[in-house]
């Protein structure tokens, strides 16, 4: 199914309100930073960044006036130490900002900062983005409900995100998937089913192949694979339920094919049940934090009334749970969805498979 039929053309940005800001302060997600997203927009020139195949990556490398660059670099190094350490400046002499790249594609238009330790040439990235409430909720729910932990900071209208290491899904599908062994494909199929289920349960949308990464890990005589989301701005925005199911994006068609080829229906149901059980258990473990966050979301506006009405209607038709019909905001829709998971995770599968 084409993405135009699944998704709205452009998602608006929603501000971080005072209630959500207080939540972020409580859980150390908010701290003062020395440079803002708007500051980085003042670059004086740029050049296109190409990949190893000489194809345009849709990122451009930015150049800043000489008199501003030193201040910008020091500010970015300060942010790096706040994100990864204690924020002190003793290690600044060992850090170098190798590149500041700007993405011309997508809603968020982020900056990607490459920071290198000059003593050993190790480097990493972090991202500077315009703060958007949808993305902040998406990041925090990822931290609470997924098997992954994620580090980010919000200050006023700027969001700082750590880099998530992995092979971009579109690159993996194009260049590596066909070369995987039969057992590896079966394992990838399992992980895609679990990833698909997790996105639907927590209503994280737009997981096209370039919005997640595949992470291979070597374990004795085999390679384990995991799939992890890297883009969170489509948390509870769209009205169509299928937007929250990666299997319906044409970019993921090859992943769906290996699921159909390598997994039996009973295995698919089992993996879906496993993932729901894990999400339910994470909810129980993080219950107090989740309650505070979902209360913020229930009082917030992160979509339009038409999308809320459509999504709650489709979820009611899908589950027959009357709580969806009573929902008035996207926060209430998500609360109803996760309450349904908690009530039913020991029961037989109520969702259809692939």
What pLDDT does residue 350 have?
44
* H-state helical runs in the chain: 3-6, 18-26, 37-40, 66-84, 133-145, 169-175, 182-202, 253-262, 265-285, 287-298, 305-319, 323-326, 330-344
Q: Tell me: the pLDDT tens digits for 260-312? A: 999 999 999 999 999 999 999 999 999 999 999 999 999 999 999 999 999 99
Task: Please check the confidence at residue 198 and state whether its pLDDT lies above 60.
Answer: yes
What pLDDT does residue 91 have?
63
- Alpha-carbon distance 272 to 262, whole Å? 15
Residues in the chain: 354
187 CB-near residues (< 8 Å, 6+ apart) = 224, 225
Task: Please check the confidence at residue 127 and state whether its pLDDT lies above 50.
Answer: yes
* Mean pLDDT score across all residues of the chain: 92
Q: Tell me: the pLDDT tens digits for 128-167? A: 999 999 999 999 999 999 999 999 999 999 999 999 999 9
Task: Express as a percent the part of the chain with pLDDT over 90.
Answer: 83
- CA neighbours closer than 13 Å in the CB half-sphere of residue 34: 16
CB 246 within 8 Å of CB 195: yes
Q: pTM score, two decimals? A: 0.92
Place of tokens 């005072």: 18
Could you tell me the pLDDT band of residue 352, with boundaries at 50, 70 and 90? Answer: very low
What pLDDT does residue 89 have?
64
Summarize the chain as % helix, strand, coil (round to 5): 50, 20, 30
The distance of Cα 321 from the centroid of its chain, to the nearest Å, equals: 27
Put the strands of the sheet holding 212-219 in their side by side order: 167-168, 212-219, 222-229
Domain ranges across the chain: 16-162, 167-344
Pairing of strands 95-103, 56-63: antiparallel
What pLDDT does residue 87 have?
67
What pLDDT does residue 9 have?
67
Task: Please check the confidence at residue 20 and state whether its pLDDT lies above 90.
Answer: yes
Distances (CA, A) of 46 to 59, 63, 66, 124: 10, 6, 14, 21
Distances (CA, A) of 21 to 16, 17, 30, 203, 292: 6, 6, 8, 22, 12
């Amino acid at each position: 199914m084409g993405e135009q039929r699944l998704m709205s053309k452009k998602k608006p940005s929603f501000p971080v309100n005072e209630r959500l800001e207080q939540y972020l302060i409580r859980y150390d997600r908010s701290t003062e930073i020395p440079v803002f997203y708007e500051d980085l927009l003042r670059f004086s020139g740029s050049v296109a960044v190409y990949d190893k195949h000489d194809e345009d990556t849709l990122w451009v490398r930015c150049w800043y006036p000489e008199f501003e660059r030193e201040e910008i670099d020091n500010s970015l190094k300060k942010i790096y130490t706040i994100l990864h350490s204690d924020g002190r400046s003793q290690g600044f002499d060992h850090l170098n900002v190798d590149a500041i790249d700007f993405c011309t594609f997508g809603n968020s238009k982020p900056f990607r900062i490459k920071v290198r330790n000059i003593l050993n040439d190790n480097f990493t990235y972090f991202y500077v983005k315009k703060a958007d409430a949808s993305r902040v909720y998406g990041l925090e729910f990822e931290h609470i409900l997924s098997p992954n932990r994620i580090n980010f900071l919000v200050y006023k209208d700027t969001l700082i995100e750590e880099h998530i290491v992995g092979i971009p899904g579109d690159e993996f599908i194009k260049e590596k998937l066909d070369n995987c062994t039969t057992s590896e494909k079966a394992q990838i199929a399992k992980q895609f089913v679990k990833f698909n289920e997790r996105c639907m349960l927590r209503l994280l949308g737009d997981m096209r192949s370039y919005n997640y990464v595949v992470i291979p890990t070597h374990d004795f005589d085999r390679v384990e694979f995991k799939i992890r989301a890297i883009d969170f701005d489509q948390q509870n925005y769209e009205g169509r339920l299928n937007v929250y199911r990666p299997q319906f994006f044409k970019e993921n068609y090859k992943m769906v094919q290996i699921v159909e080829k390598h997994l039996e229906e009973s295995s698919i149901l089992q993996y879906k049940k496993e993932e729901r059980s894990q999400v339910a258990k994470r909810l129980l473990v993080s219950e107090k934090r989740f309650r505070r966050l979902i209360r913020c979301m229930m009082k917030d506006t992160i979509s339009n009334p038409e999308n809320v009405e459509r999504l709650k209607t489709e979820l009611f038709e899908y589950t027959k749970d009357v709580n969806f019909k009573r929902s008035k905001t996207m926060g209430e829709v998500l609360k109803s969805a996760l309450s349904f998971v908690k009530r039913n995770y020991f029961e037989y599968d109520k969702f259809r498979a692939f």
